[in-house]
Structure 1
Amino acid sequence: MSTSGEHGYPDTGHTRTHLPGGDPYGGAPRRTPRSSSRSLITVVGVVVLLIAAIAFANRDNSPSPNTPAKSPNQPAAAPTAASGHTPVPTKQNGIPTHFPHTKQGAESAAANYAVALVSADILKPARRSEIVKEVFVADQQAALTDKFNKAYSKQFLSNIGLDQNGDSAAGNTYVSRTAPLGTKPTAYSASAATVEVWCTGVFGTAGEDSTNPVTSDWFTMTLELRWENDDWKAAGFSQKDGPAPIPGDGKASSADQMAKAVEEYGGFTYAR
């Protein structure tokens, strides 16, 4: 998948990470935020995504052999309607697994993986390797683990107010939570799929003394998936801004309310 276009990078075939102060891999500097009021935490929480440029092989147009028959009461799959398929029954390390070998299964995998890749856990070394193992295909795990570890270094974590374990200071709560609003497959075969996931999310540090308050953002993540070991796994992903609505005029919650919301409201398993 090319990294050129909206990111302004040449098609080098390498994963890149946007960091404050420029691109450590020698590419163009990070994109300028849309608004001068966007905090550093938003930039590093959303724009600081590893942009994988990993090509697929052995694609074909054959239908999936495991596509289930529709029941009479099951709605037809459409961009604006749920497919009616049951969510995945299992999780590994908190991440849904064993998605159906169908187009809808690929969409569900992409949505759940988008949540994991922009979560606060990806900044925690103890959780990072688990996320990489559950989300990515086997032949990319070692390289991506190394690149994630270099990107989310001790210095990087310190710059966004976290310690070397990815934890915030006492009295603060780091927030990074994503909510997929919809999915769109742009390519599909029995062995591979490309799915766009439209997301919104909240990112920042909740705390009375925080200089990086929690704010929201909108982005679209594109995941390239491969059918491997009876499951959909990611071989690469990229991210771009929007589509974003006009901001509303709702009153911002206090830091304490935001911290409690993260602690008290659980996440979802997303199904197409």
Structure 2
Amino acid sequence: MSLGDDGYGEDDRHHVTRTRLPEGEVDPYAPAARRGRPSGRNLMTVVGVVVLLIAAIAFANRGGGDSTSDSSDDAGSGHGHGGVSSGPTAPSGTKPVEGKTGGIASGFAHSEQGAQSAAANFAVALGGDGMFKAESRHAIVDSVYAADAAARLKAPQDQAYSADFLKKLGLDASGNPPKDKTFISRTIPVGTKVEAYASESAKVSVWYTGLIGMAGTGSTDPVRTTWKTWTFDMKWVDGDWKVVADDQKDGPAPVSGDVPASSSDDITNAVKEYGGFTYAR
């Protein structure tokens, strides 16, 4: 059935009953073309409202301003409320740390925000491939943990990263992969949460996804993803946050996506070409 200019089919046009309405009311069946057009004044009003809305949205989304930082800090602060932050991870506008110790970010702020940034960067360091070689592992542990905790951990960690364990991952006794393969271990924080906070101590959980495995032709341990939560007990030591204890648990893990797995060469190149980040709250 074809439609006429007034929106009705040729057969229907002759069967519509027209009702005379009192003055001021609009016939809902009247064709759109016959209704009054908005006045120029009304059009200008609509345009003005749209412009104001766009300006308001742009202002609300503007990052790095003082008001944004203040509101984020307030939302994430647990002071006066049991010392626990209830706000989700969100950018605060505060600049990342500039210092590094042994290649690991250091000099974090003495605040909840600084504790979260420290925990995220510690997870990256402790989940990296440097942990699979004794020399770099000891340096990482000395940088991340308080001195007494580091001293306690080194021997048990050396036992955990035994030659047999490394062999299962395809590494030699020194933690080196075969010449034609690339070993990958990388932690990518998704978010942080303050479990508890006091002036000299903090407990922060880091939800992260990780990559681990051997990339290369013929690998029997292909690179795979993991989802875990790493919780750090930290204390303020000599002007910085240090770990005194930590533990991990699996998840939360989302449903796997439908993106097909990449080739070993693609994964190897990606790890070599894409560097990591310094994480800040």
Larger Cα-atom Rg: 2
Q: Secondary structure at the match of 1:212?
A: coil
CA distances 1:138-183 after superposition (whole Å, capped 9, x unpaired): 1111111111111101222122210122111111111111110100
Does 1:71 pair with 2:66?
Answer: yes
Letter aligned with residue 168 of structure 1:
P
Could you tell me how far apart the structure 2 residues matched to 1:236 and 1:83 are?
A: 27
**Aligned residue for 1:32?**
none
Q: Secondary structure at the match of 1:220?
A: strand
More helix by share: 2
Does 1:240 pair with 2:249?
Answer: yes
Does 1:211 pair with 2:220?
Answer: yes
Could you tell me how far apart the structure 2 residues matched to 1:138 and 1:197 are?
A: 22
Shift of 1:82: 1.1
**Aligned residue for 2:124?**
115
Greater Cα offset, 129-138 or 152-161: 152-161
Specify whether residues 115 and 271 from structure 1 end up closer, same or farther in structure 2 by C-alpha distance, changes over 3 A only: same
Shift of 1:189: 0.5
Q: Structure 2-normalised TM-score?
A: 0.70
**Aligned residue for 1:185?**
194
Does 1:165 pair with 2:174?
Answer: yes
Letter aligned with residue 134 of structure 1:
S
Could you tell me how far apart the structure 2 residues matched to 1:171 and 1:250 are?
A: 26
Does 1:220 pair with 2:229?
Answer: yes
Letter aligned with residue 104 of structure 2:
I
**Aligned residue for 1:130?**
139
Aligned-pair identity in percent equals 47
Could you tell me how far apart the structure 1 residues matched to 2:110 and 2:253 are?
A: 32
Give the root-mean-square deviation of aligned CA atoms: 1.3
Could you tell me how far apart the structure 1 residues matched to 2:195 and 2:155 are?
A: 29
**Aligned residue for 1:63?**
none
Could you tell me how far apart the structure 2 residues matched to 1:133 and 1:147 are?
A: 14
Specify whether residues 80 and 142 from structure 1 end up closer, same or farther in structure 2 by C-alpha distance, changes over 3 A only: closer
Matches within 5 A, 1:147-166: 147-166=156-175
**Is the 8 Å Cα contact of residues 187 and 193 (structure 1) preserved in structure 2?**
yes
Match of 1:260 among 251, 269, 274: 269
Could you tell me how far apart the structure 2 residues matched to 1:190 and 1:84 are?
A: 22
**Aligned residue for 2:107?**
98
Could you tell me how far apart the structure 2 residues matched to 1:140 and 1:223 are?
A: 12
Shift of 1:76: 1.3
Could you tell me how far apart the structure 1 residues matched to 2:132 and 2:214 are?
A: 13
Shift of 1:242: 0.7
Could you tell me how far apart the structure 1 residues matched to 2:220 and 2:257 are?
A: 23
Letter aligned with residue 276 of structure 2:
G
What stretches of structure 2 of length at least 5 have no aligned partner? 1-64, 74-86
- The structure, 1 or 2, with the larger RCO (C-alpha pairs under 8 Å, 6+ apart) is 1
Could you tell me how far apart the structure 1 residues matched to 2:133 and 2:159 are?
A: 13
Matches within 5 A, 1:38-53: none
CA distances 1:35-67 after superposition (whole Å, capped 9, x unpaired): xxxxxxxxxxxxxxxxxxxxxxxxxxxxxxxxx
Specify whether residues 80 and 151 from structure 1 end up closer, same or farther in structure 2 by C-alpha distance, changes over 3 A only: closer
Could you tell me how far apart the structure 2 residues matched to 1:167 and 1:142 are?
A: 25
**Is the 8 Å Cα contact of residues 89 and 192 (structure 2) preserved in structure 1?**
no
Shift of 1:73: 4.6
**Aligned residue for 2:45?**
none
Q: Secondary structure at the match of 1:76?
A: helix
